[in-house]
Structure 1
Amino acid sequence: MKRSSVIRGVVLRRVALGVAAVALVAGCGPQGAGGGGGGSAAPPAAVTDTPPASSSAPSSDPSSKPSSDPSSDGKPSSPSATDGTPAPKALMGDGDENEQVRELQARLRQAGYFDRAPTGFYGTMTAGAVTAFQKKRGLPQTGSVDEATWQKLLAMTHKPTADELKPSTTNKLDAPDPRCLTGRVLCISKESRTLAWMIDGKVVSSMDVRFGSENTPTREGLFTVEWKARKWTSTIYHTPMPYAMFFSRGQAVHYSADFAARGYAGASHGCVNVRDKAKLSELFDQVKVGDKVVVHW
């Protein structure tokens, strides 16, 4: 075999592997049992759940991600108290996402400092609630939970029930990202786990959402609705994605029967799951290809 033929064969195999890798990560579907249906729409010809080739992929906005300064033990470093004294070591702080944060939020809600459903994510709203609690109790106002803050909160609240930790009520909207205040926008907040359909700064409708897992995260940034399909099945995960509105290389807003059944016990493969089918059906009819999509913390 000639040397040129061998080189050509190696190059072709590498190209094929690259294409296969792109196809693997581009698609989206709920992790768990999907479901639902609807009418029909003629989807674009595609091998994976990716937008048509003519669509340009919007750029992400990494500046919208929360930042942390990991210390040697892997926890974010505690900010200084407002009086300038060194703050005690934080047990929980900005950027954390776990069940202890969910319990913290439920207990803060019992005490009247957190007015939304627990999400398990420690963001600016949780930090604000913690700061207010610390101020009222004469503790260093760091916005992070240290041992003294946690013990004080434990002493004045009871162990949250399952309904308090994961209530079925609709999550409360947070302040919209500035990019959501003009035009027609699907404004999606990871912190409050909500989607707000907004037109010229006014909220028309809203609904609960959930996102991808740590291994399959939902991308953040400014996007547009690239294409829609009232009835679609993931070509990678083979799960139903009714009322799909694709906005970022295979990631879409869509109804999830798994989210409706399990709530936040599950996650998507990167898509924005909606559990209220009736609300999403109405939204699907209103949203147009080209409308903005903002995914932010």
Structure 2
Amino acid sequence: MRRTYGRRGRIGAVLAAAALLAGCKVHAAGPGSGPGVHVDAKAPGRSATPSPTPPKPSPPPYLAPGAQGTKVRELQARLRQIDWFTAYPTGRYDADTTAAVKGFQAKRGLPGTGSTDRTTWRRLLAMTGEPGYFDLYAGGDQPPAKPDPRCLTGRALCISKKNRTLSWVVDGTVRSTVDVRFGSQYTPTRDGVFQVYWKSRHHVSTLYDTPMPYAMFFSGGQAVHYSADFAARGWSGASHGCVNVRDEAKLAALYAQVRKGDKVVVHW
């Protein structure tokens, strides 16, 4: 009798013949799909689960303990604005700065590392204003001004209102520099070229009844002298027209060198 095959039977016969020739084993496919070839899940070169992606390393802190420079000054000045840092900016990321940053971070729910990462920095920027030049140098140490050309010959007390510094210049060489403070808008320090006409080591103002140690008078009642108020209050105060110095030891050394008749140049 002649055997007949339907369409499904012919396909199965063809696959069986191909399997015998190839030495493969045919398995029945799952419901709703056609026949397929079995692949062992543990075959070489295959992985049942993909390897996890290694985590990216965390970015380094924006500023960390031990750092130095103008950015550290800005950090300290901004922390001073919101009373987390009470000392003057120094530009050195020291123990006091680290403690201030930790306190700021803890108050705002940030990890208290003491290092200023970018999240901490952005939060601080949002809460503070841009520090001015003399906020950054509230404790002094600002770069001295370039000597005025009139200071480059002879012996001169070269005083810059712009940089708030007094440089002792001898024959064009700067020997020393100190921070200075000037008069207010109502009692301004006069600009110009003068001479030291009188020195008074233990002077007391007859007008204001205040001590003016190491006074070196150069224009009327205006003098370079030590100011305890400047030492205590910094830039928040002003003189009555004199040039105040807050470092008594440095001024004492300068007083010993300056002679009557030496030049005084007050400039911007």
Equivalent residue letter for 2:239: S
Percent sequence identity is 62
Q: How far off is 1:170 after superposition?
A: 1.6
Match for residue 227 of structure 2? 256
**Structure with the greater alpha carbon radius of gyration:** 2
Match of 1:203 among 157, 160, 174: 174
SS at match of 1:279: helix
Count how many residue pairs are aligned between Structure 1 and Structure 2.
149
Match for residue 129 of structure 2? 159
- Looking at structure 2, the residues matched to 266 and 167 of structure 1 have their Cα atoms a distance apart, in angstroms, of 12
TM-aligned CA distance change 1:258 to 1:227, over 3 Å: same
TM-score, normalised by the number of residues in structure 2? 0.51
Equivalent residue letter for 1:252: A
The answer to whether 1:221 aligns with 2:153 is no
Relative contact order (alpha carbons < 8 A, sep ≥ 6): 1 or 2 greater? 1
Matches within 5 A, 1:27-66: none
Aligned-residue CA RMSD (Å): 2.8
The answer to whether 1:288 aligns with 2:259 is yes
- Looking at structure 1, the residues matched to 72 and 215 of structure 2 have their Cα atoms a distance apart, in angstroms, of 39
Deviations 1:120-160 (A, max 9, x none): xxxxxxxxxxxxxxxxxxxxxxxxxxxxxxxxxxx899535
- Looking at structure 2, the residues matched to 293 and 285 of structure 1 have their Cα atoms a distance apart, in angstroms, of 16
Q: How far off is 1:111 after superposition?
A: 11
TM-aligned CA distance change 1:190 to 1:204, over 3 Å: same
Bigger mean CA offset, 168-177 vs 199-208: 168-177
Equivalent residue letter for 1:269: H
Equivalent residue letter for 1:192: N
Deviations 1:34-74 (A, max 9, x none): xxxxxxxxxxxxxxxxxxxxxxxxxxxxxxxxxxxxxxxxx
- Looking at structure 1, the residues matched to 140 and 217 of structure 2 have their Cα atoms a distance apart, in angstroms, of 27
Match of 1:187 among 158, 179, 185: 158
CA contact (8 A) 1:171 1:207 kept: no
Equivalent residue letter for 1:159: G
Unaligned stretches of 5+ in structure 2?
1-69, 74-124
Q: How far off is 1:175 after superposition?
A: 1.3
TM-score, normalised by the number of residues in structure 1? 0.46
Match of 1:178 among 134, 137, 149: 149
Equivalent residue letter for 1:173: P
Match for residue 122 of structure 1? none
Deviations 1:89-138 (A, max 9, x none): xxxxxxxxxxxxxxxxxxxx6599xxxxxxxxxxxxxxxxxxxxxxxxxx
Matches within 5 A, 1:136-147: none
- Looking at structure 2, the residues matched to 161 and 177 of structure 1 have their Cα atoms a distance apart, in angstroms, of 27
Q: How far off is 1:171 after superposition?
A: 2.0
Q: Higher strand share goes to which structure?
A: 2
- Looking at structure 1, the residues matched to 244 and 126 of structure 2 have their Cα atoms a distance apart, in angstroms, of 36
Unaligned stretches of 5+ in structure 1?
1-108, 113-154
SS at match of 2:211: coil
Equivalent residue letter for 2:211: P
CA contact (8 A) 2:138 2:234 kept: no
- Looking at structure 1, the residues matched to 265 and 129 of structure 2 have their Cα atoms a distance apart, in angstroms, of 36
Match of 2:139 among 162, 168, 174: 168
Deviations 1:192-223 (A, max 9, x none): 00000000010001000000000000000000
CA contact (8 A) 1:259 1:266 kept: yes
